[in-house]
Amino acid sequence: MPEEIQQWDEQIAHTGQISLADGVTLLPLTPLIGAEVHGLNLTKPLSSASLTALTDAFLRYKVLMIRSGGQWKMDVDEHTGLCKDLSNHWGLSADTEQKEMNNSEGLTVHPFLPWLRHYPHVWVTSSVASGGQQYQLRSSEDVENYEPFAGQKEARKRKPPRSAGDNSKAPVPQYRPGSFGGAALNQDTVNNGANAFHFDDGFFHHPPSAVVLNSVVLPKVGGDTIFADMGAAYRGLHPDLQKKAKSLTQTMDWRHVFPVWEIEAERRASEGDESFRDHVEQLIEDYPPSRQPVIRQHPVTGELSIYTNLGFTREIDDVSKEESDQLMATLCRMAERPEYQVRMRWLNEGDVCIYDNRITNHYAVADYGHVGPRSLHHIALLGEPTLNAYGEVVG
Ligand SMILES: [Fe+2]
């Protein structure tokens, strides 16, 4: 950390806030993690002084909520431009085959979730139109022809109407126990995909370094996002467990979170359509399980953190299933301590949240299904090779 960042804590103790370049103010929400940024307008290009200040604040507080005050709202191109500026400033590039395959404007394309028409790097996390499967787009022609949620619309058309009170044909939940869906709450009927602590996209061999969320539609209340500082969580472990965990790796697999792809392939094959099964087999080949350290060293700050993921982790390697389950439960539970958390409330449409996906876990609170719709645009920045606690490349 640069020396001036180390002096921030002293300034915070006196004033509770920090003045950055260009009239921007940083308001920490806890001593460890999370800060609000006031006085920045993201619809205008950032000066290099602002980019540097934002980067320093991001590395220190791990999660930034940039408040719009209802005064501005980025459109998709401005959102994309901000992410490209940050990627350039941080020196992120598509330097592997897997990253090249998922590259849209130098940003990550999610192969298993629906994205915005003409913007393959924007995943719409939305209670208005969530979930669903689609073919991975492999060429600009595919992108042009892509119809969002076409699979879902088709499925709805095929579904025979159900008589009132008939629960015999209620859909069977397609999440495996232990994946995100297991923690879904009753009052939210639509967003049950991210309400368990996790970091994003561990199935990539180089999971995204950071994510920039742009709020497009917000309920008047509810739908907060909780973030946990997994660096602090690591330091909270017993030294014996720290020592053991530092030597471990884990296997992450997209099929653990999205079994729906294989289920759908089988369903279509049973109706005589083999093409979707061929497509899923190609995905399995393109995205083989990733091996990741259980304790990760941050590539910029060097800080160690617990790097587990309830959704994507299939198992901890080279230990028994029982020990793997026990270790996962212990390590993942560390995210639940309020001392390590910040709860970000989305106040105004236009608010933007940037989180460090290398050292935080997050939990999308699913409490707003009956209050109103919520839609965030999610762009993931490319990741770096993952380092274990000793600085050796694992992922
Ligand atoms: Fe997430």
Cβ 183 vs Cβ 347: under 8 Å: no
Residue 184 and residue 267 share a domain: no
d(CA 243, ligand 1 centre) in Å: 28
**pLDDT number for residue 368:** 77
d(CA 126, ligand 1 centre) in Å: 12
**pLDDT number for residue 126:** 66
Residue 198 and residue 86 share a domain: yes
Q: List C-alpha distances in Å: 80 to 85, 98, 120.
A: 9, 21, 11
Residue 30 and residue 131 share a domain: yes
pLDDT (average), residues 124-152: 45
Element (H, E) at 275: helix 275-286
Residue 144 within a domain = no
Burial class (CB in 10 A: 0-12, 13-18, 19+), 305: buried
d(CA 240, ligand 1 centre) in Å: 30
d(CA 162, ligand 1 centre) in Å: 33
Residue 167 within a domain = no
Residue 152 within a domain = no
d(CA 14, ligand 1 centre) in Å: 35
pLDDT (average), residues 229-240: 98
Contacts 24+ apart (CB under 8 A), 36-40: 36/64, 36/65, 36/66, 36/67, 37/64, 37/65, 37/66, 37/67, 38/67, 38/69, 40/66
- Answering whether pTM is above 0.75, one says yes
Nearest to residue 254, comparing CAs of 378, 116, 111? 111
Q: What is the pLDDT of residues 57-109, one digit of tens each?
A: 999 999 999 999 999 999 999 999 999 999 999 999 999 999 988 888 999 98
d(CA 169, ligand 1 centre) in Å: 30
Q: Does residue 349 come out as left (phi exceeding 0), alpha (psi in the -120 to 50 range) or beta?
A: beta
d(CA 358, ligand 1 centre) in Å: 12
- The answer, yes or no, to whether residue 280 has pLDDT greater than 50, is yes
d(CA 221, ligand 1 centre) in Å: 20
Q: How many CB atoms lie within 10 A of CB 119?
A: 20
d(CA 363, ligand 1 centre) in Å: 7
Higher pLDDT, 231 or 186: 231
CATH code, 225: 3.60.130.10
Confidence of residue 257 (pLDDT cuts 50, 70, 90): confident
d(CA 315, ligand 1 centre) in Å: 20
Residue 308 within a domain = yes
- The answer, yes or no, to whether residue 149 has pLDDT greater than 60, is no
Residue 364 and residue 264 share a domain: no
Weakest mean pLDDT among 187-191, 235-239, 263-267: 187-191
Residue 129 and residue 110 share a domain: yes
Residue with the two structure tokens 């940039």 = 66
Residue 127 and residue 269 share a domain: no
Average pLDDT of the chain is 83
Higher pLDDT, 82 or 261: 82
How far is C-alpha 224 from the geometric centre of its chain's CA atoms? 14
CA–CA gap between residue 269 and residue 252 (Å, rounded): 27
Higher pLDDT, 167 or 385: 385
d(CA 194, ligand 1 centre) in Å: 6
d(CA 24, ligand 1 centre) in Å: 28
d(CA 149, ligand 1 centre) in Å: 20
Residue 127 and residue 273 share a domain: no
Q: In which domain, by residue range, is 340 found?
A: 3-139+177-253+289-388
Residue 186 within a domain = yes
Last residue within a domain, chosen from 243, 266, 288: 288
Residue 380 and residue 258 share a domain: no
Cβ 249 vs Cβ 392: under 8 Å: no
Strand 295-297, strand 360-364: pairing: unpaired
Angle between helix 48-61 and helix 76-90 axes, rounded to 10 deg: 80
Residue 295 and residue 284 share a domain: no
Residue 209 and residue 109 share a domain: yes
Confidence of residue 191 (pLDDT cuts 50, 70, 90): very low
Residue 184 within a domain = yes
Q: What is the pLDDT of residues 286-317, one digit of tens each?
A: 999 999 999 999 999 999 999 998 889 999 99
Residue 381 and residue 269 share a domain: no
Higher pLDDT, 190 or 76: 76
Residue 297 and residue 377 share a domain: yes
d(CA 311, ligand 1 centre) in Å: 10
Q: How many domains does the chain have?
A: 2
d(CA 313, ligand 1 centre) in Å: 14
Residue 248 within a domain = yes
d(CA 73, ligand 1 centre) in Å: 22
